[in-house]
Chains A and B, each alone.
Chain A
Amino acid sequence: MNRRTLRRAFSNLMVGLMMGAVVAALLPLIFILLNLVVKGAGSLSFAFFTQTPAPAGETGGGVVHAIAGTLMIVGMACLIGLPVGIAAGIYCAEYPTSRLTWVTRFVADVLNGTPSIVVGVFAWTWIVATQKHFSALAGSAALAMLMIPMVLRTTEELIKLVPNSLREAALALGYPRWRTSLGIVVRTTLPGIVTGSLLAVARIAGETAPLLFTALGSQYLSYNLNQPMAALPLTVFTYATGPYEEWHQNAWAAALVLILVVFVLSIGARLAIRRGFDLNG
């Protein structure tokens, strides 16, 4: 064998190995999706999306209470978490030498690695226990706490990618510092910040542990954020651990719905970004 065939064989081997890695990474995902579709799609019906659960032991009913609950709890968490996370991220990126930045970054990294159940217990201690009742709002607060460090760090890293020359261009035109930051630097990174926020939303939408301690779950459609509320992950948990076969069926279906909700959210927002920020591409 001459050098050239050897080199080519080595190249093919490496490409093969990498393709193997891709397949290994994708297989579990595909398996999960297929499994959910096979076991859950059968229970999906119009009623599943529009009705509240049937009494235990009876067939029929739906999970509209959990879909609405997830949307409300996650929406509320976004209202709290996104502004704080993004603003703090901008601060950290724009004032990298400040002591506050060092502390914030450190705390965010620690929080990022904190198991979500710990955050749940924390929210229980400070909100549920002091209010003496479970509430959706406590759930949102717990989810927001998970969100903030994620959003903060992505925002910061993205803003740091903005070339300094762009900043200087704005300053040389007479832009005050704050306008340079918001008008030029943040505008340029906006699509990235939106994507980062979406990833955070997708992650917290599936969180179960913090909600167990806070939103608790419910069998009814409720719009009161100060009361216990159902959420898809909680419903999956309740149904999957319940004693009835119908419940198990519904757990699969609810899990499928949860994945669909996250899926629709990310695709929708991605399309919106592409249309809205063409210029910044």
Chain B
Amino acid sequence: MTTTATPRAQQGFVPTPRATLTPRAPVPAPTQRGAPAIDVRDFGFAYGKREVLKNLSFSIERKAVTAIIGPSGCGKSTFLRSINRLNDLIPGVKHRGDILVEGTSVFAPSTDLVALRQRVGMVFQRPNPFPKKIFDNVAYGPTLNRLVTRRDLPDLVERCLRQAALWDEVKDRLEESGTGLSGGQQQRLCIARALGNQPEVLLMDEPCSALDPIATQRVEELMFELKKDYTIVIVTHNMQQAARVSDYTGFFDRGELIEFDETERIFTKPKHERTEAYITGRFG
């Protein structure tokens, strides 16, 4: 990496490149077996001069749920939003190192953001369905990315809604607006919308924090089903949730990865004192 004469602690940071946005870019090569689904290599991230992620290096397992936990402001969401480069919207962001998704660099200047975001779906904290028909909410991604023909679209929409455990509730009202559903249904619609793109990775940014316990339970059961087909990374404030749904857990604090291990080990015998303090509720 070239180090220009950047002042103070900015050494090694390069401005995030403006990637090209072409909707019809070729879909990248199929999954490389053996390598991890997401490979984080010495990754750092800064908003202007504020460094929020420092030297992260770890790997995320394919077809498993990986939970990221940590106190507020520790950089969990920033990390998640780096994987599909949604942070690019904020002016003045800088990064260091790289993240590889299925062997392809996320931050290379040649990266096609449209193709990247097709492969890496995202579910947000608050349900944010488009104010459009339920059907269109799911159909928009695959239509945009030309993943299916118009004839096969209804089948795909049905499959995604079924995978999101929403089909039975909405099959008679696909023409109604997605904003008319209940909060829990909306969130499952958002999951179905993300699945519509046929992604390899699903990022979930506190997907249950705006839901009631029953809806939360449904989404958690859903994640259990989805990990058969998808690599899931979830950011959560709720440690019980992390313990329930995830196979691996990473504990972030002040932009650093303190500990990363199998969930069971993190919650039963954490290696670091800070991890233990956090999961037992002594700080955070």
Contacts and interface: CB of A to CB of B under 8 A. Distances in A.
B128 interface: yes
A11 interface: no
B193 interface: yes
A176 B23 contact: yes
Interface stretch (B118-126, B163-171, B238-246, B261-269): B118-126
B117 A171 contact: yes
A167 B116 CA distance: 17
Contacts of A171: 86, 89, 117
Nearest to B84: A172
Interface residues of B, number: 32
Interface string A151-192: 000000000000101111111111111010000100110000
Chain A contact surface mostly: helix
A172 B133 CA distance: 19
A280 B131 CA distance: 6
B140 A173 contact: yes
Contacts of B140: 173
Interface in B110-166: 113-118, 121-122, 124, 126, 128-133, 140-141, 144-145
Given A184-B130, A279-B131, A173 B144 contact: yes
Interface in B189-240: 190, 193-194, 197
B121 A172 contact: yes
B233 to A, nearest CB: 13
Contacts of B277: none
Counting contact residues on chain A (CB < 8 A from B), the size range is 20 to 34
B91 A97 contact: yes
B118 A174 contact: yes
Contacts of B23: 174, 176, 179
Given A165-B128, A168-B86, A279-B131, A173 B193 contact: yes
A179 B124 CA distance: 20
A175 B132 CA distance: 16
A166 B130 CA distance: 7
B91 to A, nearest CB: 7
Contacts of B118: 173-174
B21 interface: yes
Contacts of B16: none
Nearest to B129: A169
A174 B128 contact: no
A210 to B, nearest CB: 38
Contact of A179 (B121, B144, B193): B144
Interface string A202-226: 0000000000000000000000000
Could you tell me the dominant secondary structure of chain B's interface residues?
mixed
B177 interface: yes
Contacts of A173: 117-118, 121, 140-141, 144, 193-194, 197
A174 B124 contact: no
Given A97-B91, A171-B86, A172-B117, A177 B193 contact: no
B113 to A, nearest CB: 7
Nearest to A176: B21
Given A97-B91, A173-B197, A279 B144 contact: no
Contact of B114 (A165, A176, A188): A176
B117 A168 contact: no
A92 B46 CA distance: 27
Contacts of B113: 174
Contacts of A163: 128
Contacts of A170: 130
Nearest to A170: B130
A279 B133 contact: yes
Interface in A27-73: none
A83 to B, nearest CB: 24
Contact of B144 (A167, A174, A177, A281): A174
A173 B118 CA distance: 6
A97 B118 CA distance: 28
A182 B167 CA distance: 29
Given A97-B91, A165-B128, A179-B144, A279 B177 contact: yes
Contacts of B132: 187, 279-280
B102 to A, nearest CB: 16
A184 B177 CA distance: 14
A180 B17 CA distance: 20
B141 A165 contact: no
A179 B132 CA distance: 15
28 contacts: A166-B130, A168-B89, A168-B124, A169-B128, A171-B89, A171-B117, A172-B124, A172-B194, A173-B140, A173-B141, A173-B144, A173-B194, A174-B23, A174-B115, A174-B116, A174-B118, A174-B141, A174-B197, A177-B21, A184-B130, A187-B132, A188-B130, A188-B131, A279-B131, A279-B132, A279-B133, A280-B177, A281-B131
The 10 closest A-B pairs by CB, nearest first: A174-B117, A172-B122, A165-B128, A176-B21, A173-B141, A174-B114, A174-B118, A169-B128, A279-B177, A280-B131
